[in-house]
Amino acid sequence: MLDLLMKRRSIRKYKQEPVEAAKLEKIMQAALLSPSSRGRTPWEFVVVQNRETLKALGRCRHPQQAFLPDTPAAIVVLGDTSVTDVWVEDCSIAMTIMQMEAETLGLGSCWIQIRNRTAQGEEQMSSAFIKELLHIPEQYEVLAVLALGVPDEEKPGRDLETLQYGKIHNEVF
């Protein structure tokens, strides 16, 4: 796990090829294996691979998330705010678990923040924009979008020597 964490970087440039269905299935299985508060599983996932929809999704943020229209797949992660007050935590865990599963499968990924962000033109919240685009029912809020694909850029991993060990406090701050 530590090796995987040292290797993982946010990838924003992808090869123009679809994500293999078997890999996508594993990533979604990983998402569904995520723990959630009181086991309420408030998350829902919209898997988007349609080029036109991905293009439209690119406008979900201001300024535009330029790499999203060229991303082979995007997983929109939403939480049911009517079943728990900690859907943010639950959805964040699912996001992270999907990112790590993607890494084990040799795929690149990048978290695109949606909650508390505005869509292109800044007239609408990003979540409202996506809810309209993807026909998402009222009681859900969109946390984030996970961009996914075969990496077309290389980024160096991290090493254990340069970690911010000063952030760790023993017994008291």
Ligand X SMILES: Cc1cc2nc3c(=O)[nH]c(=O)nc-3n(C[C@H](O)[C@H](O)[C@H](O)COP(=O)(O)O)c2cc1C
Residues of this chain that bind ligand X (CB under 6 A):
9-10, 12, 110-113
Q: How far apart are CA 27 and CA 78, in angstroms?
A: 16
Which residue number, 113 or 139, has a Cβ lying nearer to ligand X? 113
Distances 97 to 31, 123, 137 between C-alpha atoms, Å: 6, 32, 25
Structure tokens at 28: 């979604």
Q: Nearest distance from residue 41's CB to ligand X, in Å?
A: 21
Q: Nearest distance from residue 126's CB to ligand X, in Å?
A: 9
Which residue number, 6 or 33, has a Cβ lying nearer to ligand X? 6
Which residue number, 45 or 111, has a Cβ lying nearer to ligand X? 111
List the one residue out of 80, 71, 57, 87 whose CA is nearest residue 14. 71
Q: Nearest distance from residue 21's CB to ligand X, in Å?
A: 26
Q: How many CB atoms lie within 10 A of CB 142?
A: 25
Which residue number, 16 or 113, has a Cβ lying nearer to ligand X? 113
CA angle 4, 9, 12 (to 5 degrees): 140
Q: Nearest distance from residue 170's CB to ligand X, in Å?
A: 26
